[in-house]
Amino acid sequence: MGRALITDLYELNMAASYLRRDMTVPATFSLFVRELPPDRGFLVAAGIDDCLDYLESFHFDDEDLAWLAGHGFSPETIGAFREIRFTGDVEAVEEGRVVFAREPLLEITAPLPEAQLVETFLLNQVTFQTAIATKAVRCRLAAGQIELVDFALRRAHGVEAGVAVAKLSAMAGFVGTSNVEAARELGLTAAGTMAHSYIEAFPTERDAFLAFVEDMPPPYTFLVDTYDTLAGVEAAARVVEELDLWDRVAIRLDSGDLGELARAARAILDERGLGHVRIFVSGSLDEYVLERLVASGAPVDAAGVGTRFGTAADAPYVDSVYKLVEVGGRPVMKLSPTKETLPGAKQVWRREGKTDVLARRGEPGPEDAAGLLTPAMRRGNRLLERSTIARARARIEHDLSVLPAAAKRIRRPDSAAPVASRALEELTAATRTGDRPTGRQ
Amino acid sequence: MGRALITDLYELNMAASYLRRDMTVPATFSLFVRELPPDRGFLVAAGIDDCLDYLESFHFDDEDLAWLAGHGFSPETIGAFREIRFTGDVEAVEEGRVVFAREPLLEITAPLPEAQLVETFLLNQVTFQTAIATKAVRCRLAAGQIELVDFALRRAHGVEAGVAVAKLSAMAGFVGTSNVEAARELGLTAAGTMAHSYIEAFPTERDAFLAFVEDMPPPYTFLVDTYDTLAGVEAAARVVEELDLWDRVAIRLDSGDLGELARAARAILDERGLGHVRIFVSGSLDEYVLERLVASGAPVDAAGVGTRFGTAADAPYVDSVYKLVEVGGRPVMKLSPTKETLPGAKQVWRREGKTDVLARRGEPGPEDAAGLLTPAMRRGNRLLERSTIARARARIEHDLSVLPAAAKRIRRPDSAAPVASRALEELTAATRTGDRPTGRQ
């Protein structure tokens, strides 16, 4: 099955119309986020590589065409769709770069029908993955020295989403994922503990802890809150002592006031000389809760973050758009009151410690500035290789290291929106007032 | 590739431990939602059929086993995993039924390792699909006479999520989807208009409208807000008049104050005698905005709902859990302070117009009550066939028709939580205080 029908019907309608009229002039579309979601001071670009994979292999297969032929598309259109490939140029921000509102993550320049057909898939991948990657990085920032593990599969929006979430968590610096399928597909570290049902399947907590150690290799993370949490900690401590467990042992708290329980558990463990037993917490965690845990000085070593991270619960999408900015060499813009766009192909210039400059593509950048958009495809041929998770992670680390602290705040951050170059401002003014196509005739 | 690794690592660890100890007594797990999300007075059960498909075909294939063998699982465990199939019984709420907090959507009774291994997948499907189905139904309820079309693909959490969202929108009574892949896979009605980029690709709006009519069969939905919305309405009206378009014609508003613009557009159209031209709106719609639009009497005929619906933005997950309630014939419960569960296998008894009764399975129900849980699998054989979308839709319609208006309110609804039967209350008390396994020894 091809992927060309993973699109909105109107893309096919518009492409058919363009093809019928030979409107195959080059068009440039810019994919960017209009405004950052609440409490976001930055975004982490993700899904770019999946978009390039898709563009590289874009085509309609026989099944696609047969379906379209049965649903109102003319034989001429079917014939034209059969031949179509993505033959355009792409400028892209690399996977894992920090970006801001209005900065293009992708710019596609291709014959108009091609550029139009790919819109929906590109938005789907970049929107979702950028929302999750940003959430993952925020969790990582809030967690400080606490190690994080992805626990999101059970509440992610399907299996595909769950695997993507695991990938993005690794990019953000999580140390493992509970998601075995993702671990296999992506070579991640699978991590897991035990469930309450395991405890309940044995006569006592102690029996369950003993059985687990007997049956499995380390690590051992004893879930202690099935009945009475601090009694559970003591039961686990006794098992640790009796079996002389000195390597990779932890207790896990999954309910109640995690900070307070962690302190109480730490005291119990330390009193018994079990300083090596780590404390793992889970349950409704996100960057807001993690920040409070860290601020309270709770002695937490690691945490599983699931639902609220994997659905990006407080901001499950970003306000992404794919806008025509140039067609046949003519800059265009949308003038809708609250949705105005800036015309023309662009570059984003970045100088460390300074505000980004949103510029016309081709104009010289400020001194010492590097362009954020890099050539990703030329005439349909891929130039930008798929990033490893390690490469994407290194980009995130670097970009965060130079991002002002105010933009990294978890609540009410300052966002460093880019400024427009003078040339871009002039083009915008000229496009708005000058050769503006008008709906008023 | 099998689907057995679409799970959390701890499920595999626990199953391995159970298998090693021959702990294959029958265990019953109950999948339910602990509390309804904010502003929800009911939930619509979904994803059940996908769970049954999965259980029916559950197995580890050679690739799965090879991966596990390389990741710490013993040859004995691999051998046991190789043989494992789902051989249990399943009670299920049928796709599309209205359910409330604490009511089981699925109850699985199977040898402990089997029942444990399938947890993550079941939660993944039911959580996501129930959250979206509920959101879809709320949009449908709020929209009144306004027809709805699914526009969510570009902002859904991946392609798989986008297709599921389209399916769930059809179950809820949406008239179409923009998602062509979903339309093909599921036999839905594909629907679409045109994008701003189409307008911008022509010298004027008028040129774009004329071209679209020339190139495509109806329906014609003219996007009028690219430059100046009311001028766009007039341009569209002139095209309708000149080309004498009398069938399936609409204008689309995608920005600004949709209610106000709809009224102004309706006035312009009616003044010209174009009462047949419908008004289609889109842009950041959800049940809250739709309710206000309807309350304001805005003359809107149809609406595209996308992002906020397709991500269930205000409640992107439900608080679903999969809890052991019985093992080897012994009722069990979790006693964690805020997460207490009710022990034992259950049935939910429903009498129209009355509160549901949450009962022990096997005890007689109240007079005139029907059980919500039906036999879905016996000894691994499926009894409950996959529902068509039409069947699921009919269930939703029926259940909504008997649901109190207060539970259907969009904001601050009253939720009809079930009451426990006396037998269930007695079992709960006995399990809590009686043969309670304790962490205190």
Of A201, A228, A440, the CB nearest to B440: A228
Separation CA B428–CA B340 (nearest Å): 10
Q: Where are the alpha helices (DSSP H) in A225-274?
A: 229-243, 258-271
B251 to chain A, minimum CA–CA distance in Å?
14
Residue B440: predicted pLDDT:
30
Q: Are A221 and A280 in contact (CB under 8 A)?
A: yes
Are B10 and A439 within 8 A, CB to CB? Answer: no
Separation CA B413–CA A357 (nearest Å): 48
Whether the pLDDT of residue B439 is over 50: the answer is no
Q: Write the pLDDT tens digit of every residue in B41-61.
A: 999 999 999 999 999 999 999
Are B13 and A216 within 8 A, CB to CB? Answer: yes
Q: Write the pLDDT tens digit of every residue in B284-321.
A: 999 999 999 999 999 999 999 999 999 999 999 999 99
Whether the pLDDT of residue A438 is over 70: the answer is no
SS3 B91: strand
A259 to chain B, minimum CA–CA distance in Å?
15
Query: Which chain A residue lies closest to B16 (C-alpha atoms)?
Result: A215
Are B127 and A155 within 8 A, CB to CB? Answer: yes
Separation CA B440–CA B267 (nearest Å): 75
Pairing of strands A176-177, A220-223: unpaired
Average pLDDT over residues A3-21: 97
Share of chain B above pLDDT 70, in %: 97
Nearest by Cα to B400 from B52, B136, B126, B33? B136
Residue A293: predicted pLDDT:
98
Q: What tokens were used for B130?
A: 């129930």
Whether the pLDDT of residue A44 is over 80: the answer is yes
Are B227 and A255 within 8 A, CB to CB? Answer: no
Separation CA A29–CA A115 (nearest Å): 7
Model confidence at A440, in pLDDT bands (50, 70, 90)? very low
Whether the pLDDT of residue B438 is over 50: the answer is no
Whether the pLDDT of residue A415 is over 90: the answer is no
Separation CA A84–CA A111 (nearest Å): 10
Whether the pLDDT of residue B378 is over 90: the answer is yes
Query: Which chain A residue lies closest to B194 (C-alpha atoms)?
Result: A10
Query: Which chain A residue lies closest to B333 (C-alpha atoms)?
Result: A200
Q: Are A64 and A358 in contact (CB under 8 A)?
A: no
SS3 B267: helix
For chain B, the straight-line distance linking the first and the last C-alpha, in angstroms and rounded, comes to: 45
Instruction: Quote the longest CA-to-CA distance of chain B.
Output: 87
Which domains does chain B possess?
9-132+315-433 (3.20.140.10)
Collect all residues with Cβ–Cβ distance below 8 Å to B70 and sequence separation of at least 6. Answer: none
Residues facing residue B280 across a β-bridge:
B252, B302
Q: Write the pLDDT tens digit of every residue in B331-355.
A: 988 776 666 789 999 999 999 889 9
Q: Are A278 and A302 in contact (CB under 8 A)?
A: yes
Average pLDDT over residues A204-210: 97
Residue B434: predicted pLDDT:
64
B287 to chain A, minimum CA–CA distance in Å?
17
What is the identity of the amino acid at B253?
A: L
Torsions phi, psi of A184, nearest 5? -65, -50
Spell out which residues of chain A touch residue B9, defining contact as CB-CB under 8 Å.
178, 180, 183, 190-192
Give the Cβ contact number of residue A134 at 10 Å: 27
Q: Where are the alpha helices (DSSP H) in B21-110?
A: 48-56, 62-69, 75-83
Torsions phi, psi of A138, nearest 5? -65, -40
B366 to chain A, minimum CA–CA distance in Å?
31
Q: What tokens were used for B387?
A: 């529902």
Separation CA B34–CA A206 (nearest Å): 28
Q: Write the pLDDT tens digit of every residue in A251-262.
A: 999 999 999 999
Of A7, A226, A339, the CB nearest to B180: A7
Torsions phi, psi of B394, nearest 5? -65, -40
Model confidence at B416, in pLDDT bands (50, 70, 90)? confident
Residue A338: predicted pLDDT:
63
Model confidence at B1, in pLDDT bands (50, 70, 90)? low
Q: What order of strands is seen across the sheet that includes strand A147-150?
A: A176-177, A147-150, A302-305, A278-282, A249-253, A220-223
Spell out which residues of chain A touch residue B160, defining contact as CB-CB under 8 Å.
158-161
Q: Are B374 and B347 in contact (CB under 8 A)?
A: no
DSSP B187-256: TPPB-----HHHHHTSSSHHHHHHHHHHHSPSPEEEE--SS-HHHHHHHHHHHHHHTT--SSEEEEE-SS
Q: What angle do CA B410, B413, B414 make, to 5 degrees?
A: 160
Q: What order of strands is seen across the sheet that includes strand B357-360?
A: B370-371, B346-350, B357-360, B419-420
Q: How far is CA B92 from CA B52, B106, B329, B373, B386, in A?
A: 9, 5, 20, 5, 12
